A and B are shown apart, each in its own frame.
Chain A
């Protein structure tokens, strides 16, 4: 079982790689669009990279519910359980 902190840290690496987000800014309460400036095309890249990193599937209609980093962590943790 991957911990929430491990998932956050993995997402943080992806966010830095594809969108140039400073890892220090990444926290569970941060919104991808409003706080981290991740636009819709970059979000697609984040999702595809997260699927590979955590060996999960994140369907497109699920992505719109992932507003914050915490939402994504919760989804990934459930999906990989």
Chain B
């Protein structure tokens, strides 16, 4: 049996750079930063007082009553999914729900709901706890709401692999279509945990940038002055579709999702393997799965979170598994680290890079790390013919997800 080709027919996003995929992409190409100071009172006591907040509030896109029932991570997932669905032209096509699946996860889930309802419990007692608490905090909530929105009946799934989640969801979507369980998959990631507790937790790990006085310069992957990631919030969603299904309805096609691979480090719960062995295995396996030669990969949207160890481990792995020819970028320099949404939003950037033949820039790369011997699109977007590109994403727990996109 031959495997069906899988293509991307729709994209949607709401991020610190824009309220939709088009404005996010435009801000990326312009090299704008979405990072700003946290001016809430609770932030004053924290060692980290910067974040990449949503550019457009969910209240501008979702009605008030619906929003009362949604954790912010669910709201942004729904906004991104609706955009992707409309972009794919699926509205009103009568797509059979039994051939439609959803794979959408987050790194942390409805933590802000949990924490806010705990405040209510402590202050006013159990009777005041919202009856919507459980569906708001459950980790499958975003996928379930998106599934409900489009009446998906071929399965609704929620991978959880920390910051690899968004990319892992897309890899699962590929498998679902290849195995014949669905014709269309709504896949992506979501995250919204800008709250003192998650920030204090990440800060206690010394994983976050404390460049509080220069928010826009804080996220600086590959730069000597990098001192940790900047927390961002948002969601990215793609529509994956069997290629002949897309062709039959004359859908526009952004790119082909040619292959994917998922590996695990078996090394440490949070530290990346400095040799990047799990990453190398994932990249090699993804290229093999895609049937794409390493030399054809002309662009990589790197995971590069702006932490001292992680960025260089990834560079080491890229050099070994893919070679020195791709032009690399780290869009986290602009939108920060969207945790469970990172792999999805960055996949959208990769898909658009392949589609438009342009690599978005890595801002703040003023003084490259001595170990950086690969070509990074520093400061400015770069025009480039891109037949094939990679997006990778890694998560605490030792999760590695690598996706290969090609021109259709």
Q: Residues on A close to B: CB < 8 A?
A: 18-20, 41-42, 44-45, 48, 51
Contact = CB atoms under 8 A, between A and B. Distances in A.
Nearest to A42: B131
A44 B131 contact: yes
Contact of A20 (B64, B127, B128): B64
B131 A20 contact: no
Given A19-B65, A20-B63, A41 B132 contact: yes
For the complex of A and B, the 5 pairs showing the least CB-CB separation, nearest first, are: A20-B65, A44-B131, A41-B131, A41-B132, A48-B127
B320 interface: no
A20 B68 CA distance: 10
A18 B131 CA distance: 12
9 contacts: A18-B65, A19-B65, A20-B65, A41-B132, A44-B131, A45-B130, A45-B131, A48-B127, A51-B127
Contacts of A20: 63-65
Nearest to A18: B68
Contacts of B65: 18-20
Interface in B338-370: none
A50 B68 CA distance: 18
Interface residues of B, number: 10
Interface of B: 63-65, 68-69, 127-128, 130-132
A48 B127 CA distance: 7
Contacts of B130: 45
Given A41-B132, A48-B127, A51-B127, 12 more contacts: A18-B65, A18-B68, A19-B65, A20-B63, A20-B64, A20-B65, A41-B69, A42-B131, A44-B131, A45-B130, A45-B131, A48-B128
Nearest to A44: B131
Contacts of B132: 41
A60 B336 CA distance: 47
B363 to A, nearest CB: 42
A20 B67 CA distance: 11
Contacts of A51: 127
A4 to B, nearest CB: 26
A44 B130 CA distance: 9
A19 to B, nearest CB: 6
B136 to A, nearest CB: 11
A26 B6 CA distance: 51
A29 B141 CA distance: 36
A56 to B, nearest CB: 13
Contacts of B131: 41-42, 44-45
A19 B128 CA distance: 17
B145 to A, nearest CB: 14
A55 to B, nearest CB: 14
A51 B128 CA distance: 11
Contacts of B63: 20
Contacts of A18: 65, 68
Contacts of B128: 48
Nearest to B128: A48
B138 to A, nearest CB: 14
Nearest to A16: B65
Contacts of A48: 127-128
Nearest to B64: A20
A23 B132 CA distance: 23
Contacts of B127: 48, 51
Nearest to B63: A20
B67 to A, nearest CB: 11
A45 to B, nearest CB: 6
Nearest to A20: B65
Contacts of A45: 130-131
A79 to B, nearest CB: 16
A57 B261 CA distance: 57
Contacts of B69: 41
Nearest to A51: B127
A51 B132 CA distance: 18
A17 to B, nearest CB: 9
A42 B65 CA distance: 10
B356 to A, nearest CB: 41
A18 B130 CA distance: 11
B320 to A, nearest CB: 53
A48 B69 CA distance: 16
Contacts of A41: 69, 131-132
